[in-house]
Amino acid sequence: MVTIYIEGKPYQVPEDHNLLQACLSLGFDLPYFCWHPALGSAGACRQCAVKQFKDVDDTQGRIVMACMTPAAESTRISIDDPEAREFRAAVIEWLMVNHPHDCPICDEGGECHLQDMTVMSGHVNREYRFPKRTYRNQDLGPFIGHEMNRCIACYRCVRFYQDYAGGRDFNVTGARDHVYFGRFEDGPFESEFSGNLVEICPTGVFTDKTLHRHYTRKWDLQTAPSICVLCGAGCNTIPGERYGTLRRIRNRYHHEVNGYFLCDRGRYGYEFVNDERRLRQATRRARQGDHAETLSPAQAVAELAALAVRRERLIGIGSPRASLEANFALRALVGAERFSTGLPAQQAGLLDLILDVLRNGPVRSPSIRDIAQADAVLVLGEDVTQVTPRVALALRQAVRQGPLRELAELHIPPWQDAGIREAIQDERGPLFIAAVHATHLDDVATLTYRAAPDDLARLGFAVAHLLDTQAPDVDDLTAEQRLIAEAIAADLQAAERPLVVTGVTHGNHALVQAAANVALALCNAERAASLACLVPESNSIGLAMMGGMNLDAALQYVQEEQADTVIILENDLHRRMETVAIASLLADRRVVVLDYLENEITQIADLFLPTATFAECSGTLVNYEGRAQRFFQVFEPAGDVRPAHRWLFEAMNTGREDDSETWEHLDTITKTLAQAMPQFAPLLSDVPLVALGMKIPRQSPRHSGRTAIHADQDVNVPRPPQDPDSPLSFSMEGFEGQPPAALIPRYWAPGWNSVQALNKFQQEVGGPLRGGDPGQRLLEAPASPRQTYSGSAPSAFRPRAEQWLLVPIHHIFGSEPLSLLTPGIAALAPHPYLALNPADAAKLGLVEGEMALLDDGSSLPIKLLPSLPQGVAGLPEGLAARESMGTYSSLRSAKRANGSAESD
């Protein structure tokens, strides 16, 4: 720490900060545009001017840019100096010369950093009287609007998009005062992180098109702290609702998880909440095939309670997309021995293996921030960008760590962005990607290796053995494979913070064992190694930690134990089981379904109970890292929709005379869960048992129209809905201070209406939230780890003569079923296809677009994928039948099959 003087008063600040960071962290209001805590300083906008004085006797001083000046010992500055104020007012006047002043119709209005800084800088009179510069805007696809006339040329967008996120289709073009920030031609952004431009841009150039479609003023949005449910990363979000419609998702800062950024699936994939296919009423069928009759909520609870009395005849099937509390409530209703996780045996086995490694070994499960800090990385088997996108953005930062370390002797401060880039140039730290096909991270990879899943596992085993001869070896590697393994092992061993990334995409046990062995070997070599095991769903790890039968065991159970009622919680089994297995599970049994969207299982439910989406209820999810995080209800859903846990515990409480186990609200479930299962004990310290005395308002103090919203029904203002499940209220009144980090429903501070108000909620800018970031890590390496190497290398993959190994290919847009209901995501999702190496396609006489027939009778158009190994065929996850993944299939030309090939 060093001492600096602001307006003559001494302050302690970190020595690696610049003066802007220091001032903001101390709570001063100093305007800025081009600096961003994640991007560093560019010195482009000249807005953060302050007066710096040589020493205590210097009364003259000189204007400096705070963001470009180190906070050195004894630095003396003035923010209030009249010349500095005048300078800042002049700068913003120049920046506003060509600005259209269209705030009343601008989507950014009311939440705009440019508006805030204009007011803060004191520019009130516009004197420029000449024509303004104008631009033609671009169509940037379904997510992002473009209004270039609002640009103030701060360069944040291009620095984020290119330098931070690695995008190549967006740049700045032009010269002097006529520069243009856009794509090279109209069309959707290629980067999976383009939505962050909406928050990065300090004015209204890039705006959220999904919000625009059902626009409401930002201060009228009702908001609550939430967690993204669209993959296993657990990014923190702030969803916003108005008039019963979810209208947008914004980033919610979490220092260890998503930081300042989300991926585009997480930001835009929310529209399933508003989908017309939402089911909003409970129904009952007397017999399968009968017309469903509508039930009142009380009738539905009574029906469920009547079934629950005969507990021994029930089986409950949970879900990795439902909260811990909802799963636990189902488990309590049916009994622990009759609870299934709802996961296929293969995936459940892999999750158990991951838990075993992370619970018992020395290997640490890294946060996304830890991943960004890794200085050598091996990715084994995953297409990270498509499966857990935010982790891929972190890996793009990880490749800078090695070169940054080598720069230490140049003494370039970490915020000096241009200086660092100039020094690093194109140098990158080691990132090895061993995957089945090309990935979107390959452009920053040191080396890529493409092979079938078993061969990827073999490479992992070989690397582990090179690091530690105690680890199982692989006998018959080719010379090329051995060279690759040696290169990987050498770089991992030389690193201070090596990282291995793997996952469950291929359902391949050996792959995860190999990755775990590499991480363990590094730990044994005294490296602070970490292992990130990526999972596809928001609560896969939480559910695995809770435990229960897998789906195969559940099927056996219903057959052997003669369960006559199957209760399915938010789980579309058709994505996890073969159709025949589902038929065996459900045939001649009462089927009770709790869900929020229609699917093939809801259509055959004897009793259906409509449940709430993440935006309509509260609960806890555990991300890939083992971090339990709470999400809170944003709004009251229409119809008879209720949180799944509420349906379940109301049925349990019905008719119960002994109230010792009665659950009244979410916290009582969370508490019971944490007390009943030691693995969840840390949740006890996270249960927000309302210590504030008043509830925290979900509505901003500027929320408007409350008296008019229901005026068509009643002129009296109705009592706001009550929320027994959280310390938040559906109102604009209540607690007025800064809430605890886990309960921040929006970022706002006096004079700071944009997302930049976040500065006021952090311990220091870019650091953790005040009071510590929310959530509890449930998986920590034990003090005395006991873990040995596991598994053995599988045999080498040998392409079969007439058969192809079917592997899943993930797509950020398309593979996740909920987000696919967002029209923009559906528009960007690929059509179903079958990917083949061109050599394999040639053997079959197939060209791109021609139809191929699979063993199961399905036919798909061929997509040529040169990076795919021969003997392997790729099917898009979630878009083609899942049943066949991981198996071999013969392939034939559909033309030949129908006998028309010769005539062609």
Record the tokens describing residue 700, joined without a space: 């901003």
Q: How far is the CB of 65 from ligand FES (least distance, A)?
A: 4
Indicate which single residue of 297, 389, 626, 874 sits in contact with ligand SF4 (rule: CB under 6 A). 389
- Quick one: tokens of 657? 């005379």
- Residue nearest ligand SF4, CB atom distance: 266
What is the rounded distance in angstroms from the CA atom of residue 455 to the CA atom of residue 733?
A: 60
Taking a C-beta distance cutoff of 8 angstroms, is the pair 488, 432 a contact? yes
* CA 228 – CA 539 distance, rounded (Å): 11
Site string for ligand FES, 8-27 (x = CB under 6 A): ------------x-------
Nearer to ligand SF4, 238 or 558 (CB): 238
Supply 679's token pair.
Answer: 């693995």
Q: How far is the CB of 20 from ligand SF4 (least distance, A)?
A: 17
| Region near ligand SF4 per CB under 6 A, out of 383-391, 401-409, 444-452, 578-586 | 383-391
Nearer of residues 390 and 646 to ligand SF4, judged by Cβ: 390
Question: Which of 20, 39, 50, 151 contacts ligand SF4 by CB under 6 A?
Answer: 151
Instruction: Return the residue nearest ligand FES (CB atom).
Output: 67
> CA-to-CA distance for 402 and 884, rounded, in angstroms?
42
Distance in Å, CB of 228 to ligand SF4, minimum: 3
Stretch of 382-390, 603-611, 785-793, 848-856 lying at the interface with ligand SF4 (CB under 6 A): 382-390
Least separation, in Å, of the C-beta of 113 and ligand FES?
Answer: 11
**Nearer CB in complex with ligand FES: 43/886:** 43
203 binds ligand SF4 (CB under 6 A): yes
Residue with tokens 């930690």: 545
Q: Which residues are 239's β-sheet partners? A: 249
We find the least distance from the C-beta atom of residue 267 to ligand SF4, in angstroms, to be 7
211 Cβ contact list (under 8 Å, min separation 6): 107, 247, 248
Strand order in the sheet with 9-13: 9-13, 2-6, 76-78, 49-53, 62-65
Stretch that binds ligand SF4, among 10-18, 66-74, 150-158, 414-422 (CB under 6 A): 150-158
Residue 205 makes contact with ligand SF4 by CB under 6 A: yes
* Nearest to 160, CA basis, from 106, 95, 206: 206
Cβ–Cβ under 8 Å, residues 360 and 483: no
Specify whether the backbone of 102 is left (phi greater than 0), alpha (psi in -120 to 50) or beta.
alpha
Q: Identify whether the C-beta of residue 467 lies closer than 8 Å to the C-beta of residue 493.
A: yes
The answer to whether residue 231 forms part of the interface with ligand SF4 (CB under 6 A) is yes
Residue 110 or 403 with smaller CB distance to ligand SF4 = 110
- For residue 208, give every residue at least 6 positions away whose Cβ sits within 8 Å of its Cβ, in sequence order, or none: 107, 143, 144, 145, 195, 198, 248, 267
Using the minimum distance from each CB to ligand FES, give the nearer residue, 27 or 131.
27
Contact between 747 and ligand FES by CB under 6 A: the answer reads no
Nearer to ligand SF4, 182 or 430 (CB): 182
Interface residue with ligand FES among 13, 39, 67, 114 (CB under 6 A) is: 67
Residue 33 lies near ligand FES (rule: CB under 6 A)? yes
Binding span for ligand SF4 by CB under 6 A among 5-13, 285-293, 388-396, 689-697? 388-396
Query: Contact between 181 and ligand SF4 (CB under 6 A)?
Result: yes
State the nearest-atom distance from the C-beta of 194 to ligand FES, in Å. Answer: 23
Q: Which helix (H) or strand (E) holds 394?
A: helix 389-398
Q: DSSP letters of 759-784?
A: GGGBSSTTSPBTT--S-EE-----SS
Nearer to ligand FES, 47 or 439 (CB): 47
Least distance from ligand SF4 to the Cβ atom of residue 818, Å: 10
Binding mask 102-141 for ligand SF4 (x = CB under 6 A): ----------------------------------------
Q: Residue 500, interface with ligand FES (CB under 6 A)?
A: no
Residue 43 lies near ligand FES (rule: CB under 6 A): yes
Q: Are strands 888-890 and 803-809 parallel, antiparallel or unpaired?
A: antiparallel
Stretch that binds ligand SF4, among 124-132, 233-241, 608-616, 867-875 (CB under 6 A): 233-241
**70 contributes a contact to ligand FES by CB under 6 A:** no
User: Residue 404 and residue 236: Cα distance in Å, rounded?
Assistant: 28
> What CA–CA distance (Å, rounded) separates 294 from 281?
7
Q: Which stretch in 42-50, 163-171, 299-307, 665-673 sits in contact with ligand FES by CB under 6 A?
A: 42-50
Across-strand partners of 171?
182
860 interacts with, out of ligand FES, ligand SF4, none, CB within 5 to 8 A per kind: none
Longest dimension (CA), the chain: 96
Q: Is 34 in the site for ligand FES (CB under 6 A)?
A: yes
Q: Cα–Cα distance between 888 and 819 in angstroms, integer? A: 30
Interhelix angle 644-653/297-309, nearest 10 degrees = 60
Q: Which stretch binds ligand SF4 (CB under 6 A): 117-125, 227-235, 429-437, 629-637?
A: 227-235
Q: Name the nearest CA neighbour of 246 among 277, 224, 262, 279.
A: 224
Among 23, 24, 46, 484, binds ligand FES (CB under 6 A): 46
Distance CA(467)–CA(478), nearest Å, equals 18
Binding ligand FES by CB under 6 A: which of 32, 164, 170, 449? Answer: 32
CA 261, CA 235: separation in Å to the nearest integer? 9
Nearest to 706 by CA among 694, 716, 696: 716
Tokens of 109: 């209005």
Taking the complex as a whole, how short is the minimal distance between the CB of residue 90 and ligand FES, in angstroms? 14
* Residue 181 touches which member of ligand SF4, ligand FES, none, C-beta under 5-8 Å by kind: ligand SF4
Between 70 and 472, CB nearer to ligand FES:
70
Structure token digits, residue 169? 């289709």
- Rounded Cα distance between 147 and 149, Å, is 6
Range list of H helices, 475-633: 479-494, 509-524, 540-546, 551-561, 579-586
Q: Minimal distance in Å, beta carbon 47 to ligand FES?
A: 5
44 binds, among ligand SF4, ligand FES, none (CB under 5 to 8 A by kind): ligand FES
Which residue lies nearer to ligand SF4 by CB, 156 or 278?
A: 156
Bridge partner list, 259 = 254
Q: Counting every residue, how long is the chain? A: 904
> Which is nearer to ligand SF4, 36 or 450 (by Cβ)?
36
| Residue 622 found at the interface with ligand SF4 (CB under 6 A) | no
**54 half-sphere exposure, CB direction, 13 A CA radius:** 5
* Tokens found for residue 170: 């967006």
Q: Is 235 in the site for ligand SF4 (CB under 6 A)?
A: yes
Footprint of ligand SF4 on residues 239-298 (CB under 6 A)?
A: 258, 262-263, 265-266
Query: In the bound complex, what is the minimum distance in angstroms from residue 764's beta carbon to ligand SF4?
Result: 24
Whether the CB-CB separation of 519 and 531 falls below 8 Å is answered with yes
Structure tokens that stand for 3 in this block: 């001492």
- Rank residues 84 and 231 by Cβ distance to ligand SF4 and give the closer one: 231
Q: Give CA–CA dist 398/433, Å, rounded.
A: 13
* Smallest distance from ligand SF4 to CB 229, Å: 7
Q: Does 374 bind ligand SF4 (CB under 6 A)?
A: no
Strands (E), 619-746: 619-622, 627-631, 696-697, 728-729
Q: 65 or 617: whose CB is closer to ligand FES?
A: 65
Catalog residues that contact ligand SF4 under the rule CB under 6 A.
151-157, 181, 200-203, 205, 228, 230-231, 233-235, 258, 262-263, 265-266, 388-390
Contacting residues toward ligand FES, per CB under 6 A: 20, 32-35, 43-48, 65, 67
